[in-house]
Amino acid sequence: MAIGEVRHMGTAVLEPPADQVPGQDTERETARAKQAVDAVAADLVARGNLAGGEAQAVLEAQALMAQDPELAADVARRVAGGSTAERAVYDAFGAYRELLAAAGAYLAGRVADLDDVRNRIVARLLGVPMPGVPDSDEPFVLVARDLAPADTALLDPALVLGFITEEGGPTSHSAILARALGVPAVVALPGVGELAEGTVVAVDGSNGEVTVNPSGEQRAALARAAEERRAALAASTGPGATSDGHKVPLLANIGGPADVAGALEAGAEGVGLFRTEFLFLDDSERAPSLETQTATYRQVLEAFPEGRVVVRVLDAGADKPLAFLSPGEEPNPALGVRGLRTLLDHPEVLDTQLKALAAAAEGLPVYLEVMAPMVADRADAKAFADACRAAGLRAKFGAMVEIPSAALRARSVLQEVEFLSLGTNDLAQYTFAADRQVGAVSRLQDPWQPALLDLVSLSAEAAKAEGKSCGVCGEAAADPLLACVLTGLGVTSLSMSASAIPYVRAALSRHTLAQCERAAAAARAAESAEEARAAAEAVLSGE
């Protein structure tokens, strides 16, 4: 929870004058453009190195965007036609932006990243300050249309008390990175851009509420609630469990070795989701070598002796495109060849990854579990388990439940694998036909939707009947109240951004398993996400 004055993100597009330059200056302007592009790309990579983890991969992807050869050719063509370097960059990126925007809602998220890159290059060429997070010596609440990964990654939690965005959904990149940072954030709040600079707001990241000009009384109540939460956090330590001792291991979601320290600090009992695709974003042409992958995986596995580490094999496509693997144009990339489907089309990539994991775990006392994203049915689960066996991998093999079919027929999927892990971000996307990158449909991405809870329950019950485990590794697990409901639905472990672990641990430790079960039943009996949340809250607060 944060209270502070609103500062708006500097999103104004810098439009350079459309001056013409004489022919003899073409060479100089071309060189200036190239220099600015390279400097901005280097800056993004440097920011990535500073930020580490998932943010690093996102920033590096943006650096690649800046240096896209087709964009460079368009800039050169415009300079040859008499444009200044800054105008050529502005126009070339503008044309590309229109293409992206016209390509449909799916690419809308990418437009914000592209605009950010364009603004950075143009600002550099004009010699004006970079647009982005406002300069301020006083802490403030940042308000933006959407946040580019470059800005979210470097937000200084000492200055940025919290942030509010108009666009983006609860499972968009910005929200996931904010959670990793541990600052309160509210996303997809229409109209917030109209708040006057300097307005005092209270941002409650735990329930998504923003109070404008809170009264003294409201402020005091909010501060009291925040203080109570802090005290509860400080008091909760040790492994995750309900107050009557029902164990629910609390695991961390990580993007690579850089996230390990934060996970350990938060008391993670292991890793429940290692998103390996971030390792693959470095090179748009090919997969990292067996050796590079082995070394990276080993760094993570070494950090959790006697712990559990669940590695997800490459999840390329849709919101995580990889040029060398993702198929060409698809009308609906989220419904196309992605996740396990991509790997089954490129068995050599899957085989190298599994062999690297086998080599990395060699001789280590870690409990390695490997799972496939986007498993639709038993045939998918079998193809993945066969590939694991063929690679000589000694680990538990599992399937992510991200497609409703896998939840509906979870027992059949479990004939082939040893565990399930619910990816609630994609499960919501596919259950409600609501693209997770589109703010306009964020109501439907709410993991409190009773239909989603039904699918969680089906999966957890199937796992119980088969004597196997069923965790949750989507963003749903990071919501303390929902974590209690998921536990009540029979989920056996919860994996989340490290910063959420203390909150979830504290919430679980306040309730018995039976209370969690009652809250789960009440939530499932509701007719909407809001009702489900209120019903669970009422049960758990003893109303």
Residues forming the site for Mg ion (CB under 5 A): 402, 423, 426
> Which one of Mg ion, ligand PEP, none is in contact with 29 (Cβ closer than 5 to 8 A by kind)?
none
CA-nearest of 396, 427, 395 to 410 is: 427
CB-nearer residue toward ligand PEP: 117 or 504? 504
- The C-alpha atoms of residue 6 and residue 141 are separated, in whole angstroms, by 5
Q: Does 402 belong to an annotated binding site?
A: yes
Q: Does 338 belong to an annotated binding site?
A: no
Coil, strand or helix at 231 = helix
Q: Which residue in the set 474, 480, 488, 502 belongs to the binding site for ligand PEP (CB under 6 A)? A: 474
**Position closest to Mg ion via CB:** 426
Q: Which residue in the set 426, 435, 479, 517 belongs to the binding site for ligand PEP (CB under 6 A)? A: 426
The CB-of-339 to ligand PEP minimum distance in angstroms stands at: 8
Which listed range, 420-428, 457-465, 509-517, 532-540, lies at the site for ligand PEP (CB under 6 A)?
Answer: 420-428
CA distances from 543 to 10, 487, 535, 536 (A): 45, 20, 10, 10
Q: What is the DSSP string of 311-351?
A: EEP---BTTB--TTTS-S--S-GGGSS-THHHHHHSHHHHH
> Which one of Mg ion, ligand PEP, none is in contact with 272 (Cβ closer than 5 to 8 A by kind)?
none
Cα dihedral 342, 444, 511, 248, rounded to 10, equals 0
Q: What's the burial of 214, exposed, middle or buried (CB within 10 Å: 0-12/13-18/19+)?
A: middle
> Which one of ligand PEP, Mg ion, none is in contact with 473 (Cβ closer than 5 to 8 A by kind)?
ligand PEP
Interaction of residue 423 with ligand PEP, rule CB under 6 A: yes
- The C-alpha atoms of residue 179 and residue 475 are separated, in whole angstroms, by 9
CB-nearer residue toward ligand PEP: 273 or 303? 273
Q: Does 425 belong to an annotated binding site?
A: yes
Residue carrying structure tokens 């919430």: 507
Q: Within 13 Å and on the Cβ side, how many CA atoms surround 70? A: 4
- The C-alpha atoms of residue 134 and residue 150 are separated, in whole angstroms, by 14
Catalytic residue (choose from 173, 388, 470, 511): 173
8 is catalytic: no
The CB-of-425 to ligand PEP minimum distance in angstroms stands at: 3
CB-nearer residue toward ligand PEP: 96 or 432? 432
Interaction of residue 425 with ligand PEP, rule CB under 6 A: yes
CA-nearest of 463, 487, 477 to 244 is: 487
Q: What is the DSSP string of 174-227?
A: HHHHHHHHT--EE---TTGGGSPTT-EEEEETTTTEEEES--HHHHHHHHHHHH
Q: Does 219 belong to an annotated binding site?
A: no
Q: Does 426 belong to an annotated binding site?
A: yes
CB-nearer residue toward Mg ion: 187 or 318? 318
CB-nearer residue toward ligand PEP: 153 or 334? 334
Binding mask 388-417 for ligand PEP (x = CB under 6 A): --------------x---------------
- The C-alpha atoms of residue 475 and residue 497 are separated, in whole angstroms, by 8
The CB-of-113 to Mg ion minimum distance in angstroms stands at: 20
Identify the H or E element spanning 132: none
CA-nearest of 319, 330, 325, 371 to 346 is: 325
CB-nearer residue toward Mg ion: 89 or 318? 318
Binding mask 294-333 for ligand PEP (x = CB under 6 A): ---------------------x------------------
Q: Which residue in the set 33, 133, 360, 473 belongs to the binding site for ligand PEP (CB under 6 A)? A: 473
484 is catalytic: no
CB-nearer residue toward ligand PEP: 117 or 455? 455
Interaction of residue 117 with ligand PEP, rule CB under 6 A: no
Q: Which residue in the set 424, 431, 492, 515 belongs to the binding site for ligand PEP (CB under 6 A)? A: 424
List the structure tokens of 386. 């066969």
Enter the DSSP assignment of 241: B
CA-nearest of 224, 222, 206, 226 to 214 is: 222
The CB-of-219 to Mg ion minimum distance in angstroms stands at: 39
Catalytic residue (choose from 388, 473, 484, 516): 473
List the structure tokens of 330. 């698809």
Residues numbered 267-286 forming contacts with ligand PEP, rule: CB under 6 A: 273, 275
Q: What is the DSSP string of 55-119?
A: HHHHHHHHHHHHT-HHHHHHHHHHHHTTB-HHHHHHHHHHHHHHHHHHT-GGGHHHHHHHHHHHH
**What is the distance between the terminal CA atoms of the chain, rounded to a whole angstrom?**
24
The CB-of-514 to ligand PEP minimum distance in angstroms stands at: 28
List the structure tokens of 477. 């697990």
CB-nearer residue toward Mg ion: 423 or 480? 423
Which listed range, 145-153, 218-226, 419-427, 508-516, lies at the site for ligand PEP (CB under 6 A)?
Answer: 419-427
Binding mask 344-383 for ligand PEP (x = CB under 6 A): ----------------------------------------
Residues making contact with ligand PEP (CB under 6 A): 273, 275, 315, 402, 423-426, 473-474
Annotated binding site for phosphoenolpyruvate: 275, 312, 425-426, 436
Write out the catalytic residue numbers.
173, 473
